[in-house]
């Protein structure tokens, strides 16, 4: 094995990929949530549709979208490899393990939370990403905002979306600060700042996401 | 012989050898003194077992002063029991209540195979140390004190890392059976001092490679190791190890 592939397949190398892709996906969330927030202008989605159209057609964004999918897939593949190795590292489980005494449940449940997010993501892509793609390639007009309003009329969809972003929130609550620790960034002054920012990010971003289906369903926006 | 008044039920992991399957076995103990250490309570149990002609429970112990790192019991779901910053030998029965049921298991990790009952083979740690946890210095006359200037904060951090007794509680409690707290402490105690610099980047790469080789899991930063460590070794050491490793592999091109 070359020294470079050895570096990437080592325990720290795999964590590094996990953290790096995680931070990349966090940066995507910032863009996503900012554009979503445009619907709260309550102008029948006029501004929002301009932004959505830009995201759907701009060539730079299209290329970055490929990068985004690569990031998601790397994050998932790495997670599967790490999880199977970690399970193999303890073949016989404890009869009694009081894990709650030393760590947070969500820090121990990143795989479960990630799986929930992935299941939500499949539905989410089917709802919004796929129709946009179809419209772009068939050269049809697509009103993203109308599509949103239509989809969020179903109560079960609203519930699934809220549960999806709650999973995301807990995933971020551990993942945000964990990524910096993995990169080796541990500083007396800055690490507390990173942790505080991570907590607020994990609360605020999912709330803005969740407000979208809720406010449309309740007719606050439309 | 016992002078106390505690009655306890122990559920102890009994396993003949590394190949056979083990199981939890119930033992009743009465008149246990709250002033006994946890290991002294096990001594009482073993004396009773020997008197009855049964096999005593095998467990690791040496100094019984909390500094050697030999004792290794997973007590009621936590390594070294419920108290912070103590080893099993320094845990006392006053930390439990009369009538309690106490579950005692060995460290569980692929890299720590059970030898018998509660004793596990921790030589994987020795092999990680042998891979680079040392400084190659020529012996000779002792230097003058303070010949090498070391900032106080670095000296303190190195000393705190060096407090690791290598007991393996971090591996035992980690959901991934990762050894990163141990390995990072052993790397940090040298990386922080001038004597550790010549081999700093070679050391981190060799020790991490050996750690992976031994079959320990990967760290997911849950922080369980730091919370359970009897010596309070900090997660900062893991960040330092990651930093040195990543810089050696991806930034400064240091070969092993």
Q: Which domains does chain B have, with CATH numbers?
A: 6-105 (3.10.20.30), 122-136+148-251 (1.10.1060.10)
Report pLDDT for B142: 82
The ipTM, to two decimals, is: 0.94
Average pLDDT, chain A: 95
d(CA A214, CA A155): 9
Report pLDDT for B242: 97
Q: With contacts defined as CB-CB under 8 Å, which chain B residues touch A107?
A: 220-223
Proportion of chain B above pLDDT 70, given as a percent: 97
Report pLDDT for B253: 67
Report pLDDT for A39: 95
Q: What is the mean pLDDT of residues A41-62?
A: 93
**Cβ–Cβ below 8 Å for A86 and B178:** yes
Q: If pLDDT is split at 50, 70 and 90, which confidence band does B255 have? A: low
Q: With contacts defined as CB-CB under 8 Å, which chain A residues touch B200?
A: none
Q: What is the mean pLDDT of residues B46-60?
A: 98
Report pLDDT for A200: 98
Best of A97, A183, A185, A192 to disrupt the B interface by mutation (most B CBs within 10 Å)?
A97
Report CA A23 to chain centroid distance, whole Å.
10
The structural domains of chain A, with segments of one domain joined by +, span 10-89+107-217
Least confident of A78-87, A150-159, B141-150: B141-150
Q: What is the mean pLDDT of residues B27-40?
A: 96
Q: What is the mean pLDDT of residues B90-108?
A: 97
Helix (H) or strand (E) holding A105: helix A105-108
Q: What dihedral do alpha carbons B172, B168, B14, B46 form, nearest 10°?
A: -130
Report pLDDT for B256: 61
Would an 8 Å CB–CB cutoff place A13 in contact with chain B?
yes
Fold classified for A10-89+107-217: 3 helical TM bundles of succinate and fumarate reductases (1.20.1300)
Would an 8 Å CB–CB cutoff place B214 in contact with chain A?
no
Coil, strand or helix: which one is A44? Answer: coil
- Is pLDDT of A125 > 80? yes
Would an 8 Å CB–CB cutoff place A82 in contact with chain B?
yes
**Cβ–Cβ below 8 Å for A13 and B249:** yes
Coil, strand or helix: which one is A31? Answer: helix
Q: If pLDDT is split at 50, 70 and 90, which confidence band does B254 have? A: low
**Cβ–Cβ below 8 Å for A184 and B242:** yes
Q: If pLDDT is split at 50, 70 and 90, which confidence band does A142 have? A: confident
Q: What is the mean pLDDT of residues A11-24?
A: 97
**Cβ–Cβ below 8 Å for A11 and B218:** yes
Report pLDDT for B57: 98
Tally of residues, chain A: 222
Which tens digit of pLDDT belongs to each residue from B130-166?
Answer: 999 999 987 788 888 888 899 999 999 999 999 999 9
Q: What is the mean pLDDT of residues A101-120?
A: 98
Q: What is the mean pLDDT of residues A144-158?
A: 95
User: B12-16 — which CB contacts under 8 Å span 24+ positions?
Assistant: B12/B45, B12/B57, B12/B104, B12/B117, B12/B118, B13/A95, B13/B104, B13/B105, B13/B106, B13/B117, B13/B118, B14/B57, B14/B117, B15/B106, B15/B114, B15/B116, B15/B117, B16/B116
Would an 8 Å CB–CB cutoff place B240 in contact with chain A?
yes
> Which residue in the set A99, A102, A181 is minimally distant from B221, CB to CB?
A181
Report pLDDT for B145: 83
Q: If pLDDT is split at 50, 70 and 90, which confidence band does A4 have? A: confident
Best of B18, B153, B175 to disrupt the A interface by mutation (most A CBs within 10 Å)?
B175
Which tens digit of pLDDT belongs to each residue from B199-247?
Answer: 999 999 999 999 999 999 999 999 999 999 999 999 999 999 999 999 9
- Is pLDDT of B76 > 90? yes
Which tens digit of pLDDT belongs to each residue from B64-75?
Answer: 999 999 999 999
Proportion of chain A above pLDDT 90, given as a percent: 90
């Amino acid at each position: 094995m070359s020294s470079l592939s050895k570096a990437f397949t080592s325990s720290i190398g795999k964590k590094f990929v996990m953290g790096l892709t995680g931070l990349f996906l966090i940066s995507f969330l910032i863009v996503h949530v900012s554009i979503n927030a445009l619907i709260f202008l309550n102008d029948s989605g006029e501004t929002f549709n301009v932004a959505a159209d830009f995201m759907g057609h701009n060539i730079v964004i299209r290329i970055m979208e490929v990068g985004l999918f690569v990031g998601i897939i790397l994050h998932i593949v790495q997670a599967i490899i790490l999880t199977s190795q970690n399970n193999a590292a303890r073949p016989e489980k404890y009869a009694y393990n009081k894990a709650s005494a030393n760590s947070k449940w969500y820090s121990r449940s990143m795989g479960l939370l990630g799986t929930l997010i992935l299941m939500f993501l499949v539905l989410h892509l089917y709802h919004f990403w796929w129709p946009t793609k179809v419209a772009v390639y068939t050269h049809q007009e697509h009103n993203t905002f109308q599509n949103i309003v239509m989809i969020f009329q179903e109560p079960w969809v609203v519930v699934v979306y809220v549960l999806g972003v709650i999973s995301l929130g807990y995933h971020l609550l551990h993942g945000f600060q964990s990524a910096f620790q993995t990169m080796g960034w541990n500083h007396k002054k800055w690490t507390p700042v990173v942790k505080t920012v991570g907590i607020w990010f994990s609360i605020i971003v999912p709330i803005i996401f969740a407000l979208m289906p809720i406010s449309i369903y309740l007719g606050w926006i439309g | 012989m016992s002078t106390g008044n505690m009655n306890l039920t122990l559920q102890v992991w009994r396993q003949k050898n590394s190949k056979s399957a083990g199981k939890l076995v119930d033992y009743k103990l009465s008149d246990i003194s709250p002033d006994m250490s946890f290991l002294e309570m096990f001594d009482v149990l073993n004396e009773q077992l020997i008197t009855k002609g049964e096999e005593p429970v095998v467990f690791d112990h040496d100094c019984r002063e909390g500094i050697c790192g030999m004792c290794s019991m997973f007590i009621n779901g936590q390594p070294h029991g419920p108290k912070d910053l103590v080893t099993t030998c320094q845990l006392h029965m006053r930390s439990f209540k009369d009538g309690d049921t106490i579950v005692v298991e060995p460290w569980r990790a692929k890299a720590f195979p059970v030898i018998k009952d509660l004793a596990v083979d921790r030589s994987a740690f020795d092999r990680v140390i042998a891979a680079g946890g040392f400084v190659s210095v020529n012996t000779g006359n002792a230097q003058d004190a303070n010949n090498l200037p070391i900032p106080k904060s670095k000296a303190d951090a190195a000393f705190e890392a060096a407090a690791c007794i290598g007991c393996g509680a971090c591996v035992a409690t980690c959901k991934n059976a990762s050894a990163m707290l141990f390995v990072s402490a052993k790397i940090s105690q040298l990386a922080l001092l001038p004597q550790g610099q010549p081999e700093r980047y070679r050391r981190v790469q060799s020790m991490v490679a050996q750690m992976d080789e031994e079959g320990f899991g990967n760290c997911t930063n849950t922080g369980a190791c730091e919370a359970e460590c009897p010596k309070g070794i900090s997660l900062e050491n893991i960040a330092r190890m990651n930093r040195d490793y990543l810089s050696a592999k991806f930034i400064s091109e240091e070969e092993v």
